[in-house]
């Protein structure tokens, strides 16, 4: 892309719809609450947006597209898991600050792409 060498404009690596639940905050376990989330991988960050399709048209406002949350991938760890959910195709993302998320898709190829892309960003940051 034209901006890929402009360090002031982080490159958008990937975007798409995944199921997401946060399972820990600062190492403290949270109650699961799975929701569809629009996930954007840009630069060193994974940014979560509420799924616009899950909102009624009347409740939709431009401000709703503000990120719900964002995680810094530096020092993060991704790991496939069969134990933390009854769902298939789940991986866990743990940040340096002890926040933990599960990300899931019914489409195996899609969740594999996300895992591999996030993993490669983490590896790249580890080598910096």
Give me the residues that bind ligand I3P (CB under 6 A), please: 31-32, 34, 85-87
> Which residue's CB comes closest to ligand I3P?
85
Smallest separation, CB 113 to ligand I3P (Å): 21
Smallest separation, CB 100 to ligand I3P (Å): 12
Smallest separation, CB 123 to ligand I3P (Å): 27
Smallest separation, CB 98 to ligand I3P (Å): 18
> Which residues lie closer than 8 Å to 22 by C-beta, 6 or more apart?
30, 33, 99, 100, 101
Nearer to ligand I3P, 19 or 95 (CB): 19
Nearer to ligand I3P, 31 or 53 (CB): 31
Q: Cβ-count burial of 6 within 10 angstroms (0-12 exposed, 13-18 middle, 19+ buried)? A: exposed
Nearer to ligand I3P, 82 or 86 (CB): 86
What is the distance of C-alpha 109 from the center of its chain? 16
Instruction: Count the helix, strand and coil residues of the chain and give each as a percent rounded to the nearest 5.
Output: 25, 40, 40
Nearer to ligand I3P, 50 or 87 (CB): 87
Number of H helices, E strands in the chain: 1, 8
């Amino acid at each position: 892309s034209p901006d890929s060498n402009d360090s002031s404009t982080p490159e958008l690596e990937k975007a798409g719809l995944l199921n997401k639940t946060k399972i820990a905050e600062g190492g403290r376990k949270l109650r699961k609450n799975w929701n569809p989330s629009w996930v954007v991988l840009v630069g060193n960050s994974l940014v979560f947006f509420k799924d616009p399709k899950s909102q009624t048209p009347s409740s939709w406002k431009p401000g709703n597209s503000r990120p719900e949350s964002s995680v810094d991938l530096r020092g993060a760890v991704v790991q496939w898991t069969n134990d933390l959910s009854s769902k298939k195709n789940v991986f866990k993302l743990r940040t340096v600050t002890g926040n933990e998320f599960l990300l899931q898709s019914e489409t195996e190829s899609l969740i594999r792409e996300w895992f591999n892309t996030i993993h490669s960003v983490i590896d790249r940051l580890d080598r910096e």
